[in-house]
Structure formats: structure tokens, C-alpha cells
Amino acid sequence: MPLLKNGTVSEDRWTSAADDAALPADGPVLISHARWLTERAALETRNAPLGIRLPNTVDILDFGPEAGRFGLIVLEFPKFSDGRAYSQARLLRERFGYQGELRATGNILRDQLWHMHRSGFDAFELAHPDAAAALAGALGDFSAVYQPAADGRPTALQLRLQKLRKPEAAE
């Protein structure tokens, strides 16, 4: 499935490891949350980037303090209508300051990319004939936002207040 990163179709440099597979000595590896919980001690000694795949039932208030250990966090959308990972994403970015790659996987439709991007995702596994164009189109659908989110865009309210405080500068 094409991986979209920074707006373009990119090569996935992460190797996804099955729970029972031996991990390569180096190179970025993506593991499951379950494996992290059971093999944590061994995994912590490994001297190469680690990525983790979180089911959308994981409480980020528990996981969040450890987020900084990972270079990639993959969040799941088992159905497009299951929106739990939006909250997980915002908590990781806004509450726990996670800076690494935040990737959306699963049943992802073009018209959800805007929500995902605002919630802090910067990478998307998107089954679409022209994924990059779909993403660019989706992110361009709206030119303003009403609520603060992980993308840090100024909200309508903030822009109005700016104008109110400095009427001439806002023109």
C-alpha cells in the first residue's frame, strides 16, 4: 500500500516484524504493542530505531510517557467509522509532545485525511490510485479552522482577536 509522507509517496524504511520473528540487529523495526509489553527489557538494549503499532484501545495516558522512545507510532483505523485513533493522535502530539512519525493505517478514505492531518498524523497508508493528489486535495478543502488541534493552525477566534487588538496590522 502506498505510504504518503510529507505529501509524497515515499518508501517505507521501517521493517514490520511479526511477534515471533527474530529482530534484525540494526535498521528501523516496527513491533506490536503486545511485544513491547512482554519483551521490553530486551528491546530497550537494542541500538536501532524502534517503531510501535498501537491498537486503538490503548489508553494513551498510560502509554504516552514512553512515546519519546519511538521513532514511529502507527495508529489503527480498523473501520473508517472508528475514530478512537484521532484522540490517541492528539494526545500523543499535544499532551506528550511526541515528535516522531505518526502514521495512520487501516480503512482510510480520502475525506478523512483532513481530520487526520489536523489531529497530528504526518504519514498515511492510503489505498488510492493517485494518493498524493488525493491528499493534496483533501488538505486543501478548507482554508480556515475553528478549533485548536495538533497542527497548531491559528483558529478563527484567534484571528478575529488579532484583528480586534491590531485592526490596521490585520488588513
With binding defined as CB under 8 A, does residue 103 bind another protein?
A: no
With binding defined as CB under 8 A, does residue 169 bind another protein?
A: no
With binding defined as CB under 8 A, does residue 5 bind another protein?
A: no
- Which of these ranges, 3-11, 14-22, 41-49, 105-113, lies near another protein under the rule CB under 8 A? 105-113
- Which of these ranges, 6-14, 47-55, 66-74, 80-88, lies near another protein under the rule CB under 8 A? 80-88
Contact 34, 19 (CB under 8 A): yes
With binding defined as CB under 8 A, does residue 114 bind another protein?
A: yes
Cell of 44: 530497550
Cell of 110: 480520502
- Kindly state the smallest distance separating residue 145's Cβ from another protein, in Å: 7
Per CB under 8 A, the list member of 119, 122, 123, 131 interacting with another protein is 119
- Which of these ranges, 6-14, 28-36, 38-46, 85-93, lies near another protein under the rule CB under 8 A? 85-93
Q: Which residues bind another protein (CB under 8 A)?
A: 59, 61, 80-84, 86-88, 90-91, 94-95, 109, 111-112, 114-116, 118-119, 141-149, 155-161, 164-165
